[in-house]
Structure formats: structure tokens, C-alpha cells
């Protein structure tokens, strides 16, 4: 089937099986390889993207479900040459090591920040909330501390707390 969708603000089309995974449509048909595959079973969050503004695991979303919908991938977080605050903070804080989890973490954390889900929370509460909000994103390298630090730095930068 032919699907038409908006990806990172651009209209895109793809001729795919309705049962193709959104992850494969993004990586193979649309050549947006920033989105990574970890488990392939909806458990690790490496493939996180936004679908109509909500976080989904692209490995368990069928292409046929995406016709007419909006997708944002890690490639869509930056504004031109300027990375999203959380992308800059992940780099600055050392919150990325092997990088497999990083695009999914960046998408989810940007969603948390842009939706102002931590607004007004004291630091200790915000730290706990970040861990909870990113609980679906598994990282085997960093131990999470530097990722949480990065999210809090980004929140601070954009003025949410």
C-alpha cells in the first residue's frame, strides 16, 4: 500500500506492506537511520519516535497505522544547525556512550522537556520524575546518571524549573 505521512515536518510517501514496521519504513524506505533498533520487541525504547506527538516504539507500530499521521524522529529534533537542548546536554554531560539508546532517549527527553512535564518540580523530585519518564528507555552503558543529569541541564536551560 502507499502511505502518506508527515515526517519531521515534510510530506513523505512510501510504498510498503501495511504490516511493515514503522522502524523499517523510516530506516530503509525513508533513509532516516538515526532511529535505532535494539530489542525489536517494544521493550528497550531504542526505536522511540513521536507519532502524532506521543512517544511510540517504532518497532511495534505497523506502517498501515501511520497513514496520514505525523512522525518526528531524532533527525527532526534540531532546528536547522541548532541541536535540541537535550541533545546538546547529552553531549556536554557524557550521556551518550555507544549511542544505540541515544536517539530514543533524545526523542523521549525532548518530549518531556517540550511538554514541560517537569515544570515547577524541585530538583530532587524532577530527578526522580526523569527516571520514571525515561523508564522505557534502556541504556547498557551509562548507568543512567549522566543521562538524567543531561535532561536536568536541558530543563534548566529552557527554563522549565
Interacting residues with ligand FES (CB under 6 A): 37-40, 42-47, 57, 59, 96-102, 139-142
Sort strands 70-72 and 2-7 into parallel, antiparallel or unpaired: parallel
Q: Shortest Cβ distance from residue 41 to ligand FES (Å)?
A: 6
Pick 21 or 160: Cβ nearer ligand FES = 21
Q: Shortest Cβ distance from residue 159 to ligand FES (Å)?
A: 27
Pick 18 or 99: Cβ nearer ligand FES = 99
Q: How many CA atoms lie within 13 A of 161 on its CB side?
A: 20
Pick 45 or 76: Cβ nearer ligand FES = 45
Amino acid at each position: 500500500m502507499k502511505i502518506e505521512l508527515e515526517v519531521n515536518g515534510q510530506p513523505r510517501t512510501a510504498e510498503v506492506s501495511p504490516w511493515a514496521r514503522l522502524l523499517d519504513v523510516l530506516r530503509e524506505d525513508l533513509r532516516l537511520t538515526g532511529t535505532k533498533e535494539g530489542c525489536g520487541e517494544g521493550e528497550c525504547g531504542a526505536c522511540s519516535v513521536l507519532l502524532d506527538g506521543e512517544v511510540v516504539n517504532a518497532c511495534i507500530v505497523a506502517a498501515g497505522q501511520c497513514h496520514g499521521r505525523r512522525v518526528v524522529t531524532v533527525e527532526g529534533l534540531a532546528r536547522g544547525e541548532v541541536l535540541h537542548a537535550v541533545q546538546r546536554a547529552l553531549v556536554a554531560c557524557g550521556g551518550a556512550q555507544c549511542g544505540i539508546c541515544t536517539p530514543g532517549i533524545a526523542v523521549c527527553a525532548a518530549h518531556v522537556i517540550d511538554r514541560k512535564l517537569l515544570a515547577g518540580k524541585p530538583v530532587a523530585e524532577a530527578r526522580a520524575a526523569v527516571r520514571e519518564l525515561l523508564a522505557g528507555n534502556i541504556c547498557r552503558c551509562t548507568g543512567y546518571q549522566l543521562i538524567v543529569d543531561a535532561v536536568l541541564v536541558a530543563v534548566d536551560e529552557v527554563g522549565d524549573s
